[in-house]
Amino acid sequence: MVINHSSLLLLFFFSTLFIIPINSQLLSPIIHCSDTSGDRNTYIIHVETANATKFLAREARERYYRSFLQPLSSSGEQLMLYSYMHAINGFAARLTEAEVKTMMKMKGFVHAQKDHEYNLHTTHSPDFLGLQQDHCFWKESNYGKGVIIGVLDTGVMPNHQSFTGEDMPLPPAKWKGICDFDIPVCNNKLVGARGFLRGCRNSPVDDNGHGMHTASIAAGNFVANASVLGQAKGNASGIAPKAHLAVYKVCYKHCHGSDILAAIDQAISDGVDVLSISIGGRPDPFYDDHMAIGALAAVEKGLFVSSSAGNMGPKESSVENNAPWMLTVGASTMDRSIRVTIKLGNGEEINGESAYQPDNFPFTMLPLIFPGEKGVVRAKTCSDGSLDGINVRGKIVLCETGGGVNNSIEKGMVVKNAGGIAMILMNQGKQMLTVKARAHVLPAAQISYGDSLRIKKYMKASPVATAGILFKGTVYGTPVSPSIASFSGRGPSVINNGVMKPDIVGPGLNILAAWPSSADCSAMPTFNMLSGTSMAAPHLAGVAALLKASHPDWSPAMIKSAIMTTADELRQDGKLISDETGNSTNYFAMGAGHVNPSKANDPGLVYDINIDDYISYLCGLGYSDRQVSAVARRYIECLSRKAITAEELNYPTFTVSVASESQKTVTRTVKNVGENNAVYTVQVDAPEGVKVDVYPEKIEFSEINETVVYDVYFTSGDSSERIGSVSEGQLRWVSGKHVVKSAITVSFV
């Protein structure tokens, strides 16, 4: 049966529709739809709590916030955009620099920061993660039933089959959000949707695709026969297919910090359990990082926050979303390939990938041409207009990735418009083995950097270079998976002063998920294949939802610990996880390892962290009282509490710096979430250059939720020749049933 979009909308309307009445107390903290022109900029203003402000209703809190603006607006001009209830103690307003300076002198003022922009970090994956219907963890966690995942992104298309309410239970009674579409299209799957744009009420409809893609990865419902152009065909679903979705559109043309804070504020009010945020920006100190501040407020309220590590890898220290209270997720590959084989005129064969696999493209040897062989950059990357005057008609055209002007799909359009019959997209050095399968507009194959060099070498040696292309479809079981995608953000963090980031990696390359329109213009359910840490973060949000459903009493830090201490470090072929070069990777690329949801459900021991520990850590970063107070959303005097370093935070990993001939002691506390009368013994793979001792070497628990403290002693000899280098190791607590792993990274200073 072919169903057009309007029919789908009616099906939603008449299916298991769940409508929430609009209540003025539940509306977002939008105050005024502001004109963004003129000499005013948006500022995020942090203020002290006055009297018992945190216990007041929104209206009273807003009046208090307005008292800071009244002296600045004699004309009665509306300055305030948002009045925040949970995300921060403060508000967003349109102000001049002079007005901000005036406000800084007012009693109760804490901190001001100009609003800045954040960027988007842009099927088979449940199977790849060991999640199958009616099997083990997925069944035990009831597929995430009763958990609400909030997605901050570009919105959603509610009429997509991934968001149908079929076979979905009612949302829990705590849900207080609304569905802000012009017509009632929400249901028991998509329970709410809101749009936030510079203080304006705006449509949550996704006109980009990124938002519905990430939402369906986290919690899309089951859809049969999902595919992209007939490839990767199968039953698609999110990681937590019975969890509810609340979508908060914060990215229109840009993603602004004030809008992100407003969405987090709303999500906390609405009753969301897990936040998925595939957005990031330049690493800023936490007191100037609006998303990190809002995330801490969410974690304090019990929400788990999964965020993307950014797509600036493999550059060192490119990781984003560095706050220790957020789960920072890097991107890995899966064992699926949408294969294209290129046969060169000399008989060599090269495997590449493409989601577009035409049935009617004959295997014929055709002439090869590389327009950029003379070094012209624009021609190398097949930029717009770069093929003018070059005869590519009827030929297979070689194009390099990158160039910063057009993406791989647009390169194909340039080739097609110039008369090229097919395209070979060649990775550049930094991408190495990371190959994307895209829905190209002509027969195409993307190949690795090493294979690109092979083709170029063949062309130089052959006066008349030819090649044929054979489309082989979807292939499963690639043994070198998972590996780290080249673009995945890498540590160490330049902001958090010693907390290992990223925390974990999950599927983020060639991920099939919901999309606004069909790649082949058909009326079938629409899906697309995208790559990025944007795709990895919602995988982990879905895993967190499953764990939340299975263990409702676990804190966000406990869920995070369970994910990290049970992560896999080996590929499917039994070798260590590799990076884009094919060599074994390190913790700065993979974090604790690759997520294993079933193991995370039964971790044995967990490392918990409370909010006061995070605040003591902020004091340990050397922030001023005002700066810490801005992040903590209450007055903090660091001298009155014990500041701790990042090394002392009860994190599930160890990142320490050691000087030559020195000793350092780090303390950790573990909680038993396994069995009564459990006994664990320690095993240590010491990083090269240090001696690692643990006391006690055996820990015992008589009951569940009991805690034990242990110390780790790092002792270095003469490490003068190691200064500036890093060594890695691992600490494991082992019982008869569990292996609780903690990565160790030692920097020599």
Q: What is the per-residue pLDDT across 107-164, written as a single tens digit (0 to 9) for each?
A: 999 999 999 899 887 644 455 555 555 556 666 777 889 999 999 999 999 999 999 9
Name residue, tokens 């949801």: 597
Q: What is the per-residue pLDDT across 558-586, written as a single tens digit (0 to 9) for each?
A: 999 999 999 999 998 889 999 999 999 99
DSSP 633-692: TS---GGGS----GGGS--SSEEEEE-TT-EEEEEEEEEE-S-TTEEEEEEEEPPTTEEE
Q: What is the per-residue pLDDT across 493-525, written as a single tens digit (0 to 9) for each?
A: 999 989 999 999 999 999 999 988 754 544 444
Name residue, tokens 């979009």: 5
- What one-character DSSP code corresponds to residue 547? H
Closest CA to 218 of 193, 190, 240, 234: 240
Instruction: Please return the burial class of 437, using the count of CB atoms within 10 Å of its CB with bins 0-12, 13-18 and 19+.
Output: buried
- What pLDDT, on the 0 to 100 scale, is given for residue 132? 56
Region 289-304 average pLDDT = 97
- Residue 192 identity (one-letter amino acid): G
All residues at 6 or more sequence positions from 515 whose CB lies less than 8 Å from its CB, including other chains: 209, 212, 213, 526, 527, 528
Token pair listed for 408: 């791989």
Region 674-702 average pLDDT = 97
Is the pLDDT score of 18 beyond 80? Answer: no
Closest CA to 508 of 481, 537, 528: 537
Q: What is the per-residue pLDDT across 398-443, written as a single tens digit (0 to 9) for each?
A: 999 987 778 899 999 999 999 999 999 999 999 999 999 988 999 9
- What pLDDT, on the 0 to 100 scale, is given for residue 234? 73
Q: What is the per-residue pLDDT across 586-608, written as a single tens digit (0 to 9) for each?
A: 999 999 999 999 999 999 999 99
- What pLDDT, on the 0 to 100 scale, is given for residue 439? 87
Q: What is the per-residue pLDDT across 51-71, written as a single tens digit (0 to 9) for each?
A: 654 556 778 888 899 999 988
**Contact at 8 Å (CB) between 508 and 492?**
no
- What pLDDT, on the 0 to 100 scale, is given for residue 40? 87
Residue 545: helix, strand or coil by DSSP? helix
Q: Distance between CA atoms of 335 and 478, rounded to whole angstroms?
A: 4
Q: Distance between CA atoms of 315 and 329, rounded to whole angstroms?
A: 16
Token pair listed for 316: 């060192």
Q: What is the per-residue pLDDT across 192-251, written as a single tens digit (0 to 9) for each?
A: 999 999 888 899 999 999 999 999 999 999 888 777 777 777 778 899 999 999 999 999
Distance of CA 30 to the CA centre of its chain: 27
Q: Where are the beta strands (DSSP E) in 455-593?
A: 466-476, 504-507, 511-514, 527-530
Q: What is the per-residue pLDDT across 74-106, written as a single tens digit (0 to 9) for each?
A: 654 688 999 999 999 999 999 999 999 999 999
Residues present in the chain in total: 749
Token pair listed for 43: 């500022």
Report strand pairing: 304-308 vs 327-332: parallel
Number of H helices, E strands in the chain: 17, 35
* Residue 476: pLDDT band with limits 50, 70, 90: confident
Q: What is the per-residue pLDDT across 239-279, written as a single tens digit (0 to 9) for each?
A: 999 999 999 999 998 999 999 999 999 999 999 999 999 99
Token pair listed for 396: 């297979």
Q: What is the per-residue pLDDT across 710-720, written as a single tens digit (0 to 9) for each?
A: 999 999 999 98
Residues tagged active-site? 153, 210, 534
Closest CA to 506 of 548, 535, 476: 535
Q: Which residues of 489-525 are buried (b: 16+ CB within 10 A; e: fewer)?
A: bbbbbebbbbbbbbbbbbbbbbbbbbbbebbeeeeeb
- What pLDDT, on the 0 to 100 scale, is given for residue 38? 64
- What pLDDT, on the 0 to 100 scale, is given for residue 14? 22
- What pLDDT, on the 0 to 100 scale, is given for residue 226? 79
Please state, as a whole number, how many other Cβ atoms lie within 10 Å of the Cβ of residue 463.
5
Distance of CA 684 to the CA centre of its chain: 31
How many CA atoms within 13 Å lie on the side-chain side of 366?
Answer: 23
Is the pLDDT score of 338 beyond 80? Answer: yes
Q: Distance between CA atoms of 434 and 27, rounded to whole angstroms?
A: 44
Is the pLDDT score of 36 beyond 80? Answer: no
How far separated are the first and last CA of the chain, in Å rounded?
67
Q: Distance between CA atoms of 674 and 423, rounded to whole angstroms?
A: 54
**Contact at 8 Å (CB) between 473 and 337?**
no
How many CA atoms within 13 Å lie on the side-chain side of 581?
Answer: 9
- What pLDDT, on the 0 to 100 scale, is given for residue 255? 94
- What pLDDT, on the 0 to 100 scale, is given for residue 49? 82
Q: Distance between CA atoms of 141 and 147, rounded to whole angstroms?
A: 10
- What pLDDT, on the 0 to 100 scale, is given for residue 74? 60
The model's pTM is 0.90
All residues at 6 or more sequence positions from 583 whose CB lies less than 8 Å from its CB, including other chains: none
Give the rounded percent of residues in the chain with a pLDDT score beyond 70: 90
Q: Distance between CA atoms of 383 and 413, rounded to whole angstroms?
A: 10
Is the pLDDT score of 387 beyond 60? Answer: yes
Is the pLDDT score of 467 beyond 60? Answer: yes
- What pLDDT, on the 0 to 100 scale, is given for residue 28? 42
Q: Distance between CA atoms of 332 and 334, rounded to whole angstroms?
A: 7
Name residue, tokens 């792993």: 741
DSSP 42-81: EEEEEE---TTGGGS-HHHHHHHHHTTTGGG-TT----EE
Q: Distance between CA atoms of 250 and 236, rounded to whole angstroms?
A: 26
Report strand pairing: 739-748 vs 726-734: antiparallel
Token pair listed for 343: 């046969």
Residue 148: helix, strand or coil by DSSP? strand
The mean-pLDDT minimum among 15-24, 148-157, 372-381 falls in: 15-24
Closest CA to 326 of 486, 564, 147: 564
**Contact at 8 Å (CB) between 244 and 175?**
yes
Report strand pairing: 80-83 vs 244-249: unpaired
What is the overall mean pLDDT for the chain?
Answer: 88
Q: Distance between CA atoms of 652 and 730, rounded to whole angstroms?
A: 11
Q: Distance between CA atoms of 522 and 47, rounded to whole angstroms?
A: 53
